[in-house]
Amino acid sequence: MRPRLYLIRHGQTEWSLSGRHTGGTDLPLTPEGEAESRALAPWLAQITFSHLFTSPMRRARQTCALASGMAAPAAELEADLAEWDYGDYEGLRSAEIRRQRPAWNVFLNGCPAGETPSQIALRADRLLTRLGTLSGNVALFSHGQFSCALAARWIGHKVADGRHLALDTASLSLLDQPADHPELRVIALWNANPRLLREG
């Protein structure tokens, strides 16, 4: 049985709220981030997971605990689910970076003293190869820009194409392979969250 990858971005932090690039800075969720993570629980409770993996960062682990409830202790830490290493751009907003590099985009240019798109591609491919040996429903608690890169690599695209994907905090996405076309990888669901349903 092929794996179905349920990709969950962590809930809101102070830096995600203000648009600051957050790689290795280990921030907790805000109260709103905790609430939106809890709002995912009824969705995830309808899915039987064979495996749960979470980024080692506190914001992802908290989201995992709040969204998956009793299943959270079974979650395994997976270093390859960590956010992009932003290097010298850690803590900066995109507008601040573009004052020095007007055309900069992390998916195209990477970060000085941090990860390049090619390094992210290698990390994403390595993770997908390991996950491909599993079966059943697999939960992945991760981060915004790495998750967009992972989705791009899932469908065979370059990391650069991740820039065309938007991913909100505490959102649920599904990377799948249709039963009638098991050789085809698809993004079956993207950026779903209870807040968007309420707003829209």
Which H or E run includes 36? helix 31-38
* Residue tagged 């960062």 (tokens): 57
For 173, residues 6+ apart whose C-beta sits below 8 A from its C-beta are: 6, 7, 8, 9, 147, 151, 167, 187, 189, 190, 191, 192
One of 10, 21, 51, 143 is an active-site residue; which one? Answer: 10
Concerning whether 10 is annotated as a catalytic residue, the answer is yes
DSSP characters over 146-195:
HHHHHHHHHTT--GGGGGG----TT-EEEEE--TT-TT--EEEEEEE-HH
In contact, 178 and 200? CB cutoff 8 Å? no
Active site residue 21: no
Please identify which of the residues 83, 90, 115, 143 carries the catalytic annotation.
Answer: 83
Strand partners, 174: 6, 189
Q: Where are the beta strands (DSSP E) in 15-103?
A: 49-54, 76-77
Residues catalogued as catalytic: 10, 83
